[in-house]
Amino acid sequence: MKKIGPPWEYWPIWLATPPVIAIYLWFALRARHLVFFSNVNPGIPLGGIVGESKKAILDQIPPEYLPKTVFVPAEMPREQVLPAIRTAGIQFPLIAKPDIGERGFLVKKISDPDELVAYLERYPTDFLLQEFLEEPVEAAVLFYRFPDGRFGITSVCLKDFLHVIGDGRASVEVLMAREPRARRQLARFQQNSPDLLNRIPAFGERVLLEPVGNHARGTKFINAAYLITPDLLDSFRALCVRLDGIRYGRFDLKTASPEALQRGLFKIMELNGITSDPAHVYDPAHGAWRAYRDYYRHWRIIYRLHRAQRSAGIPPVSHREAWRFFRDYFRREKP
């Protein structure tokens, strides 16, 4: 039977999100608290549900796991930015990302100083500038850590960046039009990268189209649960016990290989809190039913962490405090 409509990974938000909201509301009802999750990660405002500072979270991660990074406040004079980058040892290309932002918003690979200055002037907000990591494997690893020492990894996802393979005859635009995943991104490339679309790659040449590993930008997410081994658990346990006030989250990282990942050899680009998706659910082979099953399991872990934290004397924030946080966040001027 022919499939009707897009695969689950491309369902629109209005269709894909309601079941997840229903799952959250079920556990909120059991907890008798709408922001019960806020005590799971007391080291992040509201546990990392929205509006958290990437810099504040990265500051809690041991420096040996981090790429070279410079924080550029919106009010920082532009003539001070390049010296700050040089002092940090960051070279072009680099990655610019807003300090507060979700789902790859305004994340961009910057090629040279002129492009950087123009980008910062176009979007006057606080930015992080990170070295562009050359490690070929990007992964997302979601963990939990209970106060009694129980530790687990529930999701490992590898990312296959949007690309096409040349045949020596067709342009990048034609090659993109032939591939369903790339075709969904074609309009964006027609607007932003017309010169790239006219290029004719050599036979067998792999052309990387998108260097940012974001699903909304065409990256294919691959379930890599087979990598959850005792070695991987030991490597991440050693890291996570050093994160004071963070008991649930997802690392977005780069590493040289899956084997290096298991040995704890990686660099962390971001750590996300409560709203971290178990990224493996976007694997095209996963499907809606299995995705919602996994969302339920992860919210159940969050609920159990909430109860464990409450028993340890760490309550969630009050509804009034949460309301003030959300109000201030949505009032804040967005770039």
Give 123's contacts (C-beta < 8 A, 6+ positions apart). 98, 106, 335
Nearest C-alpha neighbor of 200 from the set 175, 172, 176: 172
Domain presence at residue 3: no
Residues 51 and 112 in one domain: no
Q: What CATH number should be reported for the domain holding residue 104?
A: 3.30.1490.20
Q: What would the mean pLDDT of 74-99 be, rounded to a whole number?
A: 93
Residue 254 and residue 212 in contact, taking contact as beta carbons nearer than 8 Å? no
What HEC string does the chain produce? CCCCCCCHHHCCHHHHHHHHHHHHHHHHHHHCCCCHHHHCCCCCHHHHCCCCCHHHHHCCCCHHHCCCEEEECCCCCHHHHHHHHHHHCCCCCEEEEECCCCCCCCCEEECCHHHHHHHHHHCCCCEEEEECCCCCEEEEEEEEECCCCCEEEEEEEEEECCEEECCCCCCHHHHHHHCHHHHCCHHHHHHHCHHHHHCCCCCCCEEECCCCCCHHHCCEEEECHHHCCHHHHHHHHHHHCCCCCCCEEEEEEEECCHHHHHCCCEEEEEEECCCCCCHHHHCCCCCHHHHHHHHHHHHHHHHHHHHHHHHCCCCCCCHHHHHHHHHHHHHCCCC
Q: How far apart are CA 65 and CA 31, in angstroms?
A: 35
Strand 248-255, strand 137-145: pairing: antiparallel
pLDDT band at 104 (very low <50, low <70, confident <90, very high): low
Q: Provide the residue range defining the domain that includes 174.
A: 163-209
Q: What would the mean pLDDT of 269-274 be, rounded to a whole number?
A: 94
Residues 126 and 144 in one domain: no
Nearest C-alpha neighbor of 39 from the set 274, 316, 323: 316
Q: What would the mean pLDDT of 256-282 be, rounded to a whole number?
A: 94
Q: What would the mean pLDDT of 262-273 be, rounded to a whole number?
A: 95
Q: How far apart are CA 187 and CA 194, in angstroms?
A: 10
Q: Which residue has the higher pLDDT, 178 or 51?
A: 178
Residues 152 and 46 in one domain: yes
Residue 5 has pLDDT above 60, yes or no: no
Residues 123 and 103 in one domain: yes
| pTM exceeding the 0.75 threshold for the entire prediction | yes
Residues in the chain: 335
Domain presence at residue 214: no
Residues 310 and 171 in one domain: no
Which of these three, 88, 115, 132, is where a domain ends?
A: 132
pLDDT band at 166 (very low <50, low <70, confident <90, very high): very high
Which of these three, 116, 132, 148, is where a domain ends?
A: 132
Domain presence at residue 233: yes
pLDDT reported for residue 1: 40
pLDDT reported for residue 260: 97
The pair of three-digit structure tokens given for residue 239, joined into one six-digit string: 């890291």
Query: pLDDT, tens digit, for every residue of 189-246?
Result: 999 889 999 999 999 999 999 887 788 889 999 999 999 999 999 999 999 999 999 9
pLDDT band at 100 (very low <50, low <70, confident <90, very high): confident
Residues 142 and 276 in one domain: yes
Domain presence at residue 302: yes
Residue 266 and residue 41 in contact, taking contact as beta carbons nearer than 8 Å? no
Domain presence at residue 1: no
Residue 113 has pLDDT above 80, yes or no: yes
| Number of domains, the chain | 3
Query: pLDDT, tens digit, for every residue of 140-160?
Result: 999 999 999 999 999 999 999
Domain presence at residue 2: no
What residue type is assigned to position 248 of the chain? Answer: Y
Residues 26 and 78 in one domain: no
Which of these three, 209, 232, 247, is where a domain ends?
A: 209
Percent of the chain clearing pLDDT 90 (strictly above): 80
pLDDT reported for residue 101: 74
Q: How far apart are CA 261 and CA 265, in angstroms?
A: 5
Task: Point out the least confidently predicted range of 59-73, 89-103, 185-199, 309-323.
Answer: 89-103
pLDDT reported for residue 2: 46
Residue 27 has pLDDT above 80, yes or no: yes
Give 61's contacts (C-beta < 8 A, 6+ positions apart). 239, 243, 268, 271
Nearest C-alpha neighbor of 196 from the set 160, 161, 159, 164: 164
Residues 148 and 284 in one domain: yes
Domain presence at residue 327: yes
Beta bridge partners of 251: 141, 271
Residues 115 and 242 in one domain: no
Residues 155 and 294 in one domain: yes
Domain presence at residue 122: yes
Residues 114 and 95 in one domain: yes
Residues 156 and 36 in one domain: yes
